[in-house]
Structure 1
């Protein structure tokens, strides 16, 4: 019995009248060009005519499957090999009675799919839904009203399925990102130290896990606590990977006993070998805190100076004169190590320039180091410290910027309270 396919000439595929952009489009796939519906038109829920297209094989269907198609109506009797270079129809249909349906689902993964079959083949119709169709229709019961309702339901069901799939995919991606983040971000090695550690990290790229900023903190067997923060120029995955490589190299070299200029010179060699192009460089700040916690050595490689705060005194930047160049800029560069007196009770904040380069309001003015120092002093006056101080500082920098900061941000806070 021929499949009742609506004739394309009755309802043109392109309409110029009102509401044309909101009407649904149905692609009918069947191999009997003489078929036709017994009703003059099919209406959607708003009374607009459903636009119809017809294809006699899968090759033609793939050509007509443009983005404006909302639903596909497939005749289950269509031979599997009807077009698309699949061979003869009868042999393929016997081997896989749902071969044509599987091909339609493959070429139209985001479209609703209805199947059409005879009333005495209900079991096969139900199996078609299990294979992936949204619903099935019987030829003998088909009319315009039933078809229009089935199309609407199938389209909405497909939208719900896609939304559910995206939600599940998003949850899975978040779980995988959390696992990856735990593996790539450092775990401070401070066992035996009386220093308190806090950190905040926020990549600048949308949906990125890591950016080009990196940091780490370790305690060596002699009791010295070494801390580092750095920034690879750029924001892509290559820069993020290079940042991880530099962090791992820094930890290995530090635990091996290197410090100051020798350490930075070796890190520059690592960067020169691993960077994807010669234009890539990295800034770095390293601090080594003596076992008694009262003094530290500071090396700067083109990086902003740390900020120190002590009880009863406003926070200020550590001296940054005579700092060396960023890693990767000058061959055989040197990085002087400066001795700094910390005192008994103090907090030392290391940060990347993403924290200070955010804008203030709608103008071009940046927060800058002076603005950051003023902001930190306000938070200290409010009694904030540790994790709370870092979270409040990054949040305020975002608020002043009028939205998400475009550069990566890393902040590390080391604190000591003399008992």
Structure 2
């Protein structure tokens, strides 16, 4: 059906009611409205076109006579569906529900007969924007109903998207609280500074997590990253972080913590391919040597007197890849006054001046040395470090970044 000619005189039709002069009632030009007319009666379809032709509303009408024909248009349709509830192949509320579900971004206005006005009321209750009774509609009323229905549908869609964004933000906050807790270091010789920044492409936190707990004279710290991005990974990260704290606080032997955590990962992950990289460090109170267990994770960096050194540790496969017993434990010097930087790979995956070369651990050590040489304090170090990484990267970092700085016997 082509767009109607709006230059002719207004008709007076017994099926839709007399029309005085709808152009005088609605003279202002408005945005064009796409109309999908689903109507099997040829005379009623012709009348819709004629009534709209004598209004200021610009319309583009697509006319189909059955639900089967309409199905090819509905999924991508964004305008207003003008729907007769009595079609040869469908009818009533079942027809309306399919149209509302399939054309979720379109407004729906229902056409009813004089004896079926109750159906129009029920249709609006079920989700239609409006209903019109044949024989009681003129062109101006029809045009206004179409235009306002589209506007209401857009307003409803905006409100729905706002509600979804608010729910998304609340869920994000809950996940963040689970991944990034208040550490338990009240009686520890270590003071801390934590930091988290989500990656550029995601509003929801990823699977990066950290924690630190002092138990029976030993401070244990962990940083980890679940492979992949999304709610499943974030939820698994929360599970691992909470489980790790429970194991440590429950007095599980240090060598048994990570094997137990691996069993939890295997039982909780959504897909068999999911794994986690981890770095755990442990320091006995009064000692200046710490123990480290590294499972597929970037090694920590130790800061002392302005010098930055990579903590030497033999990497093991990530948690959940090749379960083969307790990971190897190694020792490294952690004297008083030194600071240990644990971080996730979002920091070292930054490009070092552009692809394909990445910053990696050596580049991060170089950047950290430069930042410290400018007199940056430990308190301000995470933000300055990310700023420098983004400068090298040429823009915001793609992946999430979590950092935990621990200073032995000095303020953070």
Structure 1 and Structure 2 fold alike (TM over 0.5): yes
Once the 2 structures are TM-superposed, how far is the Cα of residue 227 of structure 1 from its aligned partner? 0.5
Matches within 5 A, 1:366-381: 366-380=358-372, 381=374
2:43 paired residue number: 34
Moved more, 28-37 or 364-373: 28-37
How far apart, CA to CA, are the structure 2 residues paired with 1:129 and 1:239?
41
For 1:335, which of 321, 324, 328 is the aligned residue?
A: 328
Once the 2 structures are TM-superposed, how far is the Cα of residue 374 of structure 1 from its aligned partner? 3.2
Is the 1:27–1:69 contact (alpha carbons within 8 Å) kept by the matching residues of 2?
no
How far apart, CA to CA, are the structure 2 residues paired with 1:45 and 1:406?
52
How far apart, CA to CA, are the structure 1 residues paired with 2:315 and 2:67?
69
For 2:60, which of 26, 50, 53 is the aligned residue?
A: 50
**Structure 1 gap ranges (5+):** 6-21, 87-97
Is the 1:213–1:409 contact (alpha carbons within 8 Å) kept by the matching residues of 2?
yes
2:25 paired residue number: none
Residue 84 in structure 1 maps to residue 93 in structure 2:
no
| Closer/same/farther in 2, CA of residues 111 and 280 from structure 1, 3 Å limit | closer
How far apart, CA to CA, are the structure 2 residues paired with 1:3 and 1:136?
16
Is the 1:215–1:230 contact (alpha carbons within 8 Å) kept by the matching residues of 2?
yes
Residue 254 in structure 1 maps to residue 248 in structure 2:
yes
Once the 2 structures are TM-superposed, how far is the Cα of residue 321 of structure 1 from its aligned partner? 4.7
Once the 2 structures are TM-superposed, how far is the Cα of residue 66 of structure 1 from its aligned partner? 5.1
Is the 1:205–1:235 contact (alpha carbons within 8 Å) kept by the matching residues of 2?
no
Is the 1:26–1:73 contact (alpha carbons within 8 Å) kept by the matching residues of 2?
yes
Deviations 1:300-357 (A, max 9, x none): 33433222224xx2241243055555444473575132141322x3322101222112
How far apart, CA to CA, are the structure 2 residues paired with 1:38 and 1:168?
36
How far apart, CA to CA, are the structure 2 residues paired with 1:74 and 1:325?
61
Is the 1:200–1:411 contact (alpha carbons within 8 Å) kept by the matching residues of 2?
yes
1:179 paired residue number: 174
Is the 2:223–2:279 contact (alpha carbons within 8 Å) kept by the matching residues of 1?
yes
Matches within 5 A, 1:272-287: 281-287=275-281
Matches within 5 A, 1:168-317: 168-193=163-188, 195-202=190-197, 206-207=201-202, 209-220=204-215, 222-235=216-229, 239-258=233-252, 261-268=255-262, 281-292=275-286, 294-310=288-304, 313-317=305-309
Matches within 5 A, 1:120-159: 132-137=127-132, 139=134, 142-144=137-139, 147-159=142-154
Is the 1:300–1:320 contact (alpha carbons within 8 Å) kept by the matching residues of 2?
no
Residue 401 in structure 1 maps to residue 396 in structure 2:
no
How far apart, CA to CA, are the structure 1 residues paired with 2:100 and 2:275?
49
TM-score by length of 2: 0.73
For 2:350, which of 348, 358, 377 is the aligned residue?
A: 358
Deviations 1:136-194 (A, max 9, x none): 55655645565445433322332222112111221122123322432454332223335
Deviations 1:185-244 (A, max 9, x none): 433222333533332334559446443433221110x33211011234444655545544
How far apart, CA to CA, are the structure 2 residues paired with 1:69 and 1:273?
44
Is the 2:302–2:311 contact (alpha carbons within 8 Å) kept by the matching residues of 1?
no
Matches within 5 A, 1:5-16: none
Is the 1:116–1:138 contact (alpha carbons within 8 Å) kept by the matching residues of 2?
yes
How far apart, CA to CA, are the structure 1 residues paired with 2:347 and 2:335?
24
Once the 2 structures are TM-superposed, how far is the Cα of residue 23 of structure 1 from its aligned partner? 6.1
Once the 2 structures are TM-superposed, how far is the Cα of residue 72 of structure 1 from its aligned partner? 1.7
| Partner SS, residue 83 of structure 2 | strand
Q: Aligned residues, how many?
A: 383
| Partner SS, residue 42 of structure 2 | coil
Once the 2 structures are TM-superposed, how far is the Cα of residue 53 of structure 1 from its aligned partner? 0.6
TM-score by length of 1: 0.72
Is the 1:29–1:72 contact (alpha carbons within 8 Å) kept by the matching residues of 2?
yes
1:10 paired residue number: none
RMSD: 4.3
Is the 2:209–2:225 contact (alpha carbons within 8 Å) kept by the matching residues of 1?
yes
| Closer/same/farther in 2, CA of residues 231 and 31 from structure 1, 3 Å limit | closer
**Structure 2 gap ranges (5+):** 1-12, 18-30
| Partner SS, residue 411 of structure 1 | strand
